[in-house]
Structure 1
Amino acid sequence: MIKKLSSYFGPGTFVAAAFIGPGTITICSIAGVRFGTDLLWALVLSIVATIILQNMSARIGLVTQMDLGTAMREIVSQPLLKALLMVLVVVAIVFGNAAYEAGNISGAVMGFSVIYADTQLSFGDFTLDYLPLVIGASCYFILNLNSYKKIEKLLIVLVVLMSLSFLATALITKPDLLSLVKGITLFKMPSDSLTTVLAIVGTTIVPYNLFLHSSVVQEKWKGVSGLKFAKLDSAIAIGLGGLVSIAVVVAASEIPREELRSILDMAETLEPLYGVYAKYLLGFGFFAAGITSTLTAALAAAYVLKGCLGWKIDNTHPKFKWTWRGILLLGVVFSSLGINPIELIQIAQVSNAILLPFIAILLLAIVSNRKLMGDYRNTQFQNTVGVLIILFCLFLSVKSFFMMF
């Protein structure tokens, strides 16, 4: 079954695996606990915007046979502007992903600790959590296979299992269907909800996914013959990821508490209400989210560096491999030593939020360029939708910047 699924789907799964990480699950949990289902509309809009932008990125990859970073180098002709743009992208995404990796591995550890709490070794006054080392080594082995097809199949399995875990958790809580419909269709903004809305959008529309998608789509299909498959793949995989986020909000909305510090709080609250299965489902889902995001964040950083620096190399080249290895190593170190990655992740979120509108503008410019895209360039309607998304991203960028500083 997996073999059959992977023949039609794959690249979109990388995107879903990347944005459904511990950060997204935590934000959606907080949204559900604090505001119930009132903010589901923001999540649905974010998913739609993500599908549209990722489809544009995939189209660039298949039509031009270039990744997004390389296409940006082609369309920006002014040398100084090109250099500044590439530096901004590399700093924001490559170093940002190093920060996210710590959160991803810590999230996988947290999900595992819901099921088995004792993951630390003591050496006198020094305490070491060994699970990040195990997770890091496992991810290293998977990525070091240098096989797109094997990683793709693994991600399909993990994303499907993760989705079933969170959907089952949501169904166990027996949500009110009317409140779900209202949450999706009524644009409510409860008091003090703006920060959460921005966080929901910021953890769903992720800049590095645009670079990742334009690259991995070329591993799957060759040329424009794959466009129809890529479009369907994106809609289904990202839609499934969105369904996971909705399920987390729904499950959290049934929790009778006002604050949520971590996924452990959510698991502990669900167990007495809905049985031990809810706790284990939630723990496994969070663990899978951490693993999939760890794999894709490291890969995305390598693809970004490869495209932006103009490396004419394949994925087996030492430069490519040492990039993802470095990102993975930093995540393992920060997680193992108990260094709190929250501040690093906040800085990464700000840099990504500031970067997003610029990336979206260049993305729209590329897919509208007749020379690069030919007959596959954007239609006027697609450009209009793209401009609306860019305006939304600009609003997010400005708000995120001022709220952080």
Structure 2
Amino acid sequence: MEATTNKSLLKKIIAIILGFGPGIFAIGYTIGTGSVTSMIVAGSKFNMDLLWVLFLSCLFSGVLMFAYGNYGLITGETALYGFKKHLKFGKALAILIIVGITFGQWNSLMGILGISSNIIYEILAINFDGLSGFKYQTVLITAIVIIVTFYLLMLVGKYTFFEKILVIFVTLMGLSFVLSLYFVQPLPLDVIKGLIPKIPDVPGGKMLVAAFVGTTMASATFLSRPLFVKGKGWTIKNLDQQKKDSITAAILIFTISGVIMAVSAGALYYEGKEVTHVLDMANTLEPVAGKWAVTIFFFGALSAGLSSIFPCLLIAPLLIADYQSGDLDTNSKQFRIITFIACLVALIGPAFGANPIEIQILSQVFNVFVLPLVILGIIIMVNNKKIMKNYKTGLFVNIGLFASLLFACIISYNGIIALTEYF
């Protein structure tokens, strides 16, 4: 009897996970190795001090996903096409957004591929001693194999296929980090203190705050929302479902990211250790929990990386399809050429043997600069009754949108200062 109950409970959990909508793409875009790297570096350097940034980013992300999703369902239009069609300088704005986001996401792809290849190398090196002298070659070959595999998968995929693969990676990632948290936890008081706003006044503090927002409030997540909602087959009848999906995605992003930061704070900050290389991320768990913890942690970080490669490769063709107001045709020549260029860009980091952690954090900072434009565009659109077919955007949603615009402007300014200090 008990076995039957357990089976039905497991079936229910699997059904919930598989029933998750376009929000799974939001998690794929948001929690990649970029996010994992930022959370780990922040946890190791500043304990839980940046939890407030994560909380606000996730709160505003939920509002923006909801606003963009509703816009898509009510008007039947995609976001950039809407900008081009309805706004005075919409065409220039849309092109600027495409260039800005593609630059940020392709940079991010370079870091993701570098970190994922390094993780696989570290796992192999633990088991095969002879590999330690061939790090560069192993990392580069691994990077080529990963990116070629993903490119071939892109050519056969449809929306539902990508969604299923992302569900698997995201679930593995979440479970791996929760298991890691079992081995090391931060102090509860530090978690509460982390919700009080403050920017660490140390070298790299501003950069990390900007990277945090760049990775958690990713413009790509909101802009692609109408396309993914459309890909799911949702219509104006699914407004309530769209709302729940946005809230669930925002809560899951906050939970998984917070757990990663907590693991890092518990394992590294109290030991006075910082993360500068990929192996630093997992080595710190080894004294506490042995080789198994390293494997579990690496598995989580690898799942995070692989769950981000699809969305990052998809972003440029998605935005261009959005601008042209077409559906994303994964069989078109345009799609194949753009994703092929993205694959080549991704290999630049591993080919030059660059430190993927630095590339990753820098790319997240660049993501911040397009954000105010993306928020401003949707504020104008959802408050235009003609565009929204007399559908009125609620007061709370508007407060959330204006607050997120103010937040994005402050963080962008902070990001500019951080970059001038870095270079």
Query: Quick check: 250-259 or 278-287, which moved more?
Result: 250-259
CA change 1:259–1:343 in 2 (3 A) is closer
CA change 1:165–1:349 in 2 (3 A) is closer
- Which residue is equivalent to 2:265? 253
- Which residue is equivalent to 2:244? 232
Query: Quick check: 35-44 or 233-242, which moved more?
Result: 233-242
The answer to whether 1:156 aligns with 2:167 is: yes
Offset at residue 350 of structure 1 (A): 4.9
Query: Quick check: 218-227 or 244-253, which moved more?
Result: 218-227
8 Å Cα contact 1:3/1:153 also seen in 2: no
Superimposed CA distance per residue, residues 73-120 of structure 1 (whole angstroms, 9 cap, x where no aligned partner): 12213xxx3342233122212233222111111121133233223797
User: What SS class does the counterpart of residue 374 from structure 1 fall into?
Assistant: coil
Q: Distance in 2 between matches of 1:279 and 1:3?
A: 27
State how 1:148-187 maps to structure 2 within 5 Å. Answer: 148-184=159-195, 186-187=196-197
- Which residue is equivalent to 1:51? 62
CA change 1:276–1:122 in 2 (3 A) is closer
State how 1:63-78 maps to structure 2 within 5 Å. Answer: 63-77=74-88
Superimposed CA distance per residue, residues 26-74 of structure 1 (whole angstroms, 9 cap, x where no aligned partner): 1111111112122212211111111111111111222222221111112
- Which residue is equivalent to 2:119? 111
The answer to whether 1:141 aligns with 2:140 is: no
- Which runs of 5 or more residues in structure 2 are unaligned? 1-10
- Which residue is equivalent to 2:378? 363
8 Å Cα contact 2:97/2:373 also seen in 1: no
Q: How many residues align?
A: 400
User: What SS class does the counterpart of residue 371 from structure 1 fall into?
Assistant: coil
8 Å Cα contact 2:159/2:231 also seen in 1: yes
Superimposed CA distance per residue, residues 270-312 of structure 1 (whole angstroms, 9 cap, x where no aligned partner): 1012222221111011111111111101112211122235557
Q: RMSD of aligned C-alpha atoms?
A: 2.7
8 Å Cα contact 1:128/1:337 also seen in 2: no
- Which runs of 5 or more residues in structure 1 are unaligned? none
- What is the TM-score when the length of structure 2 is the normalising length? 0.86
Q: Distance in 2 between matches of 1:262 and 1:126?
A: 18
- Which residue is equivalent to 2:303? 288
Query: Quick check: 98-107 or 315-324, which moved more?
Result: 315-324
Offset at residue 191 of structure 1 (A): 3.2
Q: Distance in 2 between matches of 1:203 and 1:341?
A: 15
The answer to whether 1:267 aligns with 2:277 is: no
Identity %: 28
8 Å Cα contact 1:136/1:328 also seen in 2: yes
Superimposed CA distance per residue, residues 363-394 of structure 1 (whole angstroms, 9 cap, x where no aligned partner): 11112221222243412332122111101101
The answer to whether 1:19 aligns with 2:30 is: yes
Offset at residue 403 of structure 1 (A): 2.2
Offset at residue 6 of structure 1 (A): 6.2
User: What SS class does the counterpart of residue 9 from structure 1 fall into?
Assistant: coil
